[in-house]
A and B are shown apart, each in its own frame.
Chain A
């Protein structure tokens, strides 16, 4: 009997405890219960980990430099020394065919037609793709949050200017905008010079900034909408009555209430920016040599598509897995943070 009472007391305590949870803790619990989203998160972290371990792989397992051409090199397979580029390969027995997948430490996935280790390049490529993808998504979200806060809070002329600018970028097809900017910056022989800031043409910052800038309106619009509705709430009125400054109102009162919108959009944004980066790199206006990215490796693989398809298949599979994981995770985060959310993002 007393045991049942104790059990009930325990349960009551537990319920009280639950009632004291913050919305963030509740959302976190919901996300942890979502097995699919959790699996996606694990997969994504795994891909990040493996990609950032690329130098370790190249130095200690493959013993190759994936950025140096290796046209006349040889490698040892099953105790036999074979050239990396075989003369007279292919259907016509002309030209050179790079070595195929060896399924050994070095040249695990074979070589591309510069004799470079494809596996190492895919790993290094993942590093660039993830850096550019995550970097540009974070930049887009940061800028968009500030733009959305300013436009939604001040209204009037500030809103007019910011919103019209956003509308203009929005009306412009993302892809055309990215292509134009990417092409133009390639014609800049010494990179981009913005006053004291100077960005080298080969720097990863260039594609990151281009892609980040192009996607600002996609995040700024929903944030501005959220700020507009929150601005009219009673607690803002209360804070104003207490003498809070505009600055405090924006960043201490409104920002915590719109940040969930940003967090919901972030994984979906990264998925989108990674796809955009790969497309731009495939068109050779994204990540520039000597850096590689998944998109550039697919581009390398195009000439070898029928002889050594693995060169194009491997980075593509990595992109699909990464983006799929991020999309599933994004759905999970959305359901966890706001079960009734109708937030959607363009492709």
Chain B
């Protein structure tokens, strides 16, 4: 894992400073800079030092002193900004995760049970539509309906203006402002997980242990919930770990941008527009680190859930 983390920092550094044709100093200097300004800027931002020194300095600022400063907002520290944005992202992803787990299990189970009827393909087509929608577009459509077109109707008059209220200051407002983003973010995952779960449940149908359970006279419902669903959840849980981590690590960016939620994703997006490389680099490295840690946790959880993959 340490090797992967090291390689990720190298990759990020390489992308930002070694890509052919890229010159951060030119970007900082603005339009048509004269050569003296470029030299000054290179010196000021330490871009004239040898690459290994720059890499080590960057790593020191990211992980040891944690005082990386922004390019465009002179003197502003990057770290506190990320720390204050993290609860927003976590609120968004947690809520969406609760919705997508509950709904996709219900949908996957229903489709598996109703196999052979018209409802199974119907549910799966709905799931497929969910997978096929770009999340930022769905978010815009949600805004159009709940903030504008149907906002005056009884159905959506409760929807507050876009924004974020911390859970600690007003829990009810926090909830109301996040409901629509939660639903938007979870649609893709509901579709994806429902399909995976249905396929896994149907695969277990011919397994010996399912036949044994039926032969013992256990009711169909119990076999489905206690035997088939339980083994099918192994894939579900490991996928969940990976997706949850990917969302916290930066995948929720589009949803945050559309709904104006000041999380880590929106921070990345704003620095993207001002080309504030240190902020982007910091969010990318921290996000990637989080994801690598989470993947390791998933591997451990996987072995714990499924005795077959445990090393003996």
Contact of B22 with A185 in the complex, beta carbons under 8 Å: yes
Give residues 260-312 of B contacting A (CB, 8 Å).
268-269, 272-273, 275, 280-281, 283-284, 287-288, 291-292, 295
Cα(A171)–Cα(B15), bound, Å: 16
How many chain B residues touch A (CB < 8 A): the figure is: 56
Closest to A276 in B: B134
Question: Is A324's CB within 8 Å of the partner chain B?
Answer: yes
Contact of B19 with A173 in the complex, beta carbons under 8 Å: no
CB distance from B135 to the nearest CB of A (A): 8
Contact of B140 with A312 in the complex, beta carbons under 8 Å: yes
Cα(A267)–Cα(B249), bound, Å: 28
Question: Is B16's CB within 8 Å of the partner chain A?
Answer: yes
CB distance from A23 to the nearest CB of B (A): 23
Q: A172-B288, A175-B251, A175-B253 are in contact. Are A180 and B4 (CB under 8 A)?
A: no
Contact of A324 with B144 in the complex, beta carbons under 8 Å: no
Question: Is A97's CB within 8 Å of the partner chain B?
Answer: no
Contact of B16 with A180 in the complex, beta carbons under 8 Å: yes
Contact of A192 with B21 in the complex, beta carbons under 8 Å: yes
**Which residues of B have CB within 8 Å of A186?**
275
Contact of B272 with A306 in the complex, beta carbons under 8 Å: no
Cα(A347)–Cα(B140), bound, Å: 20
Instruction: Give the segment of A68-76, A103-111, A250-258, A278-286 that binds chain B.
Output: A278-286
Contact of B272 with A188 in the complex, beta carbons under 8 Å: no
Contact of A185 with B19 in the complex, beta carbons under 8 Å: yes
Most interface-central of B20, B249, B283 (chain A CB within 10 A)? B20
Instruction: Give the segment of A113-121, A144-152, A313-321 that binds chain B.
Output: A313-321
Contact of B253 with A316 in the complex, beta carbons under 8 Å: no
Residues 165-186 of A, flagged 1 when their CB comes within 8 A of B and 0 if not, give: 0011001110110011101111
How many chain A residues touch B (CB < 8 A): the figure is: 51
Contact of A179 with B268 in the complex, beta carbons under 8 Å: yes
Contact of B143 with A344 in the complex, beta carbons under 8 Å: no
Cα(A301)–Cα(B137), bound, Å: 10
Looking at chain A's contact residues, the main secondary structure is helix
Question: Is B82's CB within 8 Å of the partner chain A?
Answer: no
CB distance from A295 to the nearest CB of B (A): 8
Q: A187-B23, A323-B132, A344-B196 are in contact. Are A173 and B140 (CB under 8 A)?
A: no
Instruction: Give the segment of B6-14, B170-178, B208-216 that binds chain A.
Output: B6-14
**Which residues of B have CB within 8 Å of A278?**
134, 137
CB distance from A86 to the nearest CB of B (A): 19
Contact of A316 with B134 in the complex, beta carbons under 8 Å: yes
CB distance from A92 to the nearest CB of B (A): 15
CB distance from A296 to the nearest CB of B (A): 12
Contact of A168 with B4 in the complex, beta carbons under 8 Å: yes
Cα(A199)–Cα(B282), bound, Å: 28
Q: A191-B21, A313-B141 are in contact. Are A175 and B26 (CB under 8 A)?
A: no
Contact of B129 with A320 in the complex, beta carbons under 8 Å: yes
Question: Is B244's CB within 8 Å of the partner chain A?
Answer: no
Q: A171-B295, A183-B275 are in contact. Are A305 and B140 (CB under 8 A)?
A: yes
Closest to A189 in B: B26
**Which residues of A have CB within 8 Å of B129?**
320, 324
Contact of A173 with B137 in the complex, beta carbons under 8 Å: no
Question: Is A51's CB within 8 Å of the partner chain B?
Answer: no
Q: A187-B275, A189-B23, A313-B141 are in contact. Are A324 and B128 (CB under 8 A)?
A: yes
Cα(A213)–Cα(B269), bound, Å: 22
Q: Which of B136, B148, B196 contacts A279 (CB 8 A)?
A: B136
Q: Which of A173, A309, A320 contacts B144 (CB 8 A)?
A: A309
**Which residues of B have CB within 8 Å of A176?**
249-250, 283-284, 287-288
Q: A184-B15, A320-B129, A320-B133 are in contact. Are A173 and B192 (CB under 8 A)?
A: no
Q: A187-B27, A194-B20 are in contact. Are A171 and B131 (CB under 8 A)?
A: no
Contact of B11 with A181 in the complex, beta carbons under 8 Å: no
Contact of A327 with B254 in the complex, beta carbons under 8 Å: no
Closest to A315 in B: B137
Question: Is B103's CB within 8 Å of the partner chain A?
Answer: no
Cα(A191)–Cα(B19), bound, Å: 11
Q: Which of A167, A175, A279 contacts B250 (CB 8 A)?
A: A175
Most interface-central of A181, A187, A306 (chain B CB within 10 A)? A187
Given contacts A173-B246, A312-B137, A320-B134, 19 further A-B contacts (CB under 8 A): A168-B7, A171-B8, A171-B295, A173-B249, A173-B288, A176-B288, A179-B250, A180-B12, A184-B16, A189-B21, A283-B253, A283-B254, A295-B134, A305-B143, A306-B147, A316-B133, A316-B134, A319-B137, A342-B203
Chain B residues within CB distance 8 Å of chain A: 4, 7-8, 11-12, 15-16, 19-24, 26-27, 128-129, 131-137, 140-141, 143-144, 147-149, 188, 192, 196, 203, 246, 249-251, 253-254, 257, 268-269, 272-273, 275, 280-281, 283-284, 287-288, 291-292, 295
Give 6 pairs: A residue, B residue, CB < 8 Å, sorted on A.
A171-B291, A172-B288, A179-B253, A183-B272, A316-B137, A347-B131
